[in-house]
Structure 1
């Protein structure tokens, strides 16, 4: 246990230690804890030796701007949010009179990654097929008709199919989504069942739908690299300022299904509609219950 800090003698590193104890004591998921500890690491590395009472708005502005200029605007935003909570707690404990972050505006990064259109998708899939990578063409279809994240697509397995639904427990947030096998994406004329069947034709007996020749699942990085290779062969680099990644298939899926009248908030596993709306830019379940997508 740490001794309660004293005003005027506490360094930022010491206060970060106290804040870390608080984070670890909360009922947070391991990934969330790790992300927040990474935010603290930025603060420790830059200003850890400074007395808490001597840290100025200018110090924090320089830190946030440095992270932003390094090409990590979303990290800068997360560090800002963590620092704000940390300094507010210090004010509450009377270690400092005011929050030095208060005069600094929170970063509002804009997504730099280009959106993926249906025409782009079809061309990239065509390239995948021409490069004798039918497994990846099928993977692209599976990602588009299910609307799930890269890691969840890579992990999809026959054991998740029962009661005429594909049951997905999303790795990022734990949302449980049951997708009917008969759900069909009209834009490409393929259903979830047909997409799964095609994957199993290519890799019969594999542990997952997207699998290597030996039946073992691909690591997610392979999906990222293969998508980039097919994309760059399909389109010149200057087509996009910041080329779309595999993840943009999820946004395309949302936009296509929304126009088809499907409840995309349930399909994508979003708790709040505003998050789904972000994907359309050109749980609340308890326990182990699945949220079912309606046709």
Structure 2
């Protein structure tokens, strides 16, 4: 089994010995089961002990590795197969794929060099332990799916990730207030103002707003195919009536930049990037950063912790709250499928079932 590359803190240390920067001490990872042992802060003693243990555990390791390399598959090797063959069939949104890339990088760094049928529950649990609840649960779910596919091919006897317990996620982000979002909007460039206004009046998700095109507004309606739900429910195919309120927002999206997208910007460098079909398209991460910068410039939500500060995504919650307060039904415009709605099996045909909704929220109190 080939050990993973050592980071700066562990360079010069024997295999399986690591420096724990948080405790200022060394710890040894037993190669047979991944269990950790604290070796104290004395570097010389820790190295000596690790070398003695390695002589015992790794005796004949070169011969064993030759056999394993020929007949076994590492988790990292199987992840390559999973990414190239399994994920493409699911037609996942780009934002989801970007998130997976982050998790894959973490998984490869911690477990990628290990033979897949030798990874234990303890190893997975120790990998997940230092991660935040949300990150750990995302990585756990992804690993569980990976091991399910590996087990189905006979590469491992069980699913160690599925045997771990999910962490409890406590929602920390608070909701936007009308005054807070108004202050933020006042510190944003025009393209971001348009994105905020569209989010308020249509109650759509960030990715769906950034995908809206001028050609989607036709015959008195704005047609939206929600990335998250279109594959599963009729509610994901929305036909939003263009009310005077929505038309005012659409009109503001027109400017001197020639772009197919409602929300667009002129970048500093005219360059087409991966995942973008037009140089004016705004990607989700850029929008998130720009919104955060505007929020900091506005100075609103003083006294709130960093993890409590609402982002662009929380505009959707405020929109639905305002719809409800105005006595309107926000469920359909949000694209939340009810129990009576059936799956939309006609997604690739001309007779797609569109859910007709009306975007008639008055946002003049925020947008001016």
1:134, 1:194 → 2: CA distance?
14
TM-score computed with the length of structure 1 as normaliser: 0.69
Residue 221 (structure 2) pairs with residue 165 (structure 1): yes
Match of 1:188 in 2: none
Displacement of 1:57: 1.9
- Where structure 1 has 5 or more consecutive residues not aligned to the other structure, the ranges are 184-190, 274-282
Residues 58 and 161 of structure 1, relative CA distance in 2, 3 Å threshold = same
- Where structure 2 has 5 or more consecutive residues not aligned to the other structure, the ranges are 1-67, 231-235, 268-278, 360-368
Q: Which has the higher helix share?
A: 1
Structure 1 runs of 4+ aligned residues shifted over 6 Å read none
Which of residues 94, 118, 125 in structure 2 aligns to 1:61? Answer: 125
Residues 244 and 52 of structure 1, relative CA distance in 2, 3 Å threshold = same
Task: Report the aligned-residue RMSD.
Answer: 3.8
Which of residues 140, 146, 152 in structure 1 aligns to 2:202? Answer: 146
Contact persistence 1:144–1:253 (CA under 8 A): yes
Contact persistence 1:23–1:33 (CA under 8 A): no
Larger radius of gyration: 2
Contact persistence 1:139–1:210 (CA under 8 A): yes
- Give secondary structure in 2 for the equivalent of 1:168: strand
Query: Aligned pair count?
Result: 263
Match of 1:254 in 2: 320
2:228, 2:199 → 1: CA distance?
16
TM-score computed with the length of structure 2 as normaliser: 0.58
**Cα deviation per residue 1:94-134 (whole Å; 9 max; x = unaligned)?**
65554333542023433433321222122323x33xx8x55
Displacement of 1:244: 1.6
Residue 288 (structure 2) pairs with residue 224 (structure 1): yes
Displacement of 1:165: 1.1
